[in-house]
Structure 1
C-alpha cells in the first residue's frame, strides 16, 4: 500500500507542469526569442529583465526573489553557454507593467526585439520594424511609449 502511494506521488510530480519548468543551467534550452525565453523562465518563477541579441548569441538577465542570473545563449539553438548568478538588490517584484506582456504587445505591433532592458526605473528597447532599427523608451508604470527614435545605420 505504501509503495503504491509513493509510486503514484512520484508519477504525479513528474507529470505536473512544474516538473518541466526550465531552471537556467548550463546547456538548458530556453529558446531563441524574448517571448519564448520569458515563458520558459517564467515557469520557474524568473522574470526576464534584459534581453540582447548580439554576434550570434543572446545575453539575458533574469531575476527571482533575491537571485539575479546573467546568462548567454547560442542564438540558433537557445542553449545556455555561460551562466552567472548573484544576489539581487532592489525591490521585488518589479512595480508597474508586466515585462512579458509588454514584449508580447511590441511583437504584436510588428517589432522584432533586439534588446530589452529594464533597470533603474526605466525600460529601453531596441527593435527592428519595417526595415529600420528603432529605440523606444517606455514608461514602466503603464507601458506607454514615452519616446521613440529611428536609429541611423
Structure 2
C-alpha cells in the first residue's frame, strides 16, 4: 500500500509539472487569420494565375514568372505563421487544418517551405523561356514537392 501511495504521489508531482494547453488567446486567433489570409490571397491567388496559364492558356509566361516569384517571396515566411499552439487540438478543427505534426517535426516543416521557395524560383526562371511544356512540368514539380510536401503530412481534413 505504501508503494502504491508513493507511486501515486510521484505521478501527481510529475503531472503537476507537465504543460497543459490553455485557452487559445486572441493573438493566436489573429495569427491563424493572418495565415489563412496569406494562403488565400497570396499563395492561392498566384497558383491560380499559374494554373490558368498551364491548363487554360490564360495570361502569359511573364504572368507565370511574376506569380512564381511572389510564391518564392512568401514561402520562407510560412513557418513564421505557425507558432506553437495554433493548430489542432488546441484550436477548433473548424478554424484550422494545421496538424500537431508541424510542431513535432518543425525542421521538416521549415525544409518544405524552403523547397517551395526553391521550386517557385525555378518556375519563375523556366517561365521566362516561354516553353509551355517546361513551365507545366516545373509547376507540377513545385506542386508535388512544395505544396504537397506540406499539405500531405501537415494539413488535416476540412471539418464542417
- Relative to the length of structure 1, the TM-score reads 0.29
Between Structure 1 and Structure 2, the one with more strand by share is 1
Between Structure 1 and Structure 2, the one with more helix by share is 2
Of structures 1 and 2, the one scoring higher in RCO (CA 8 A, sep 6+) is 2
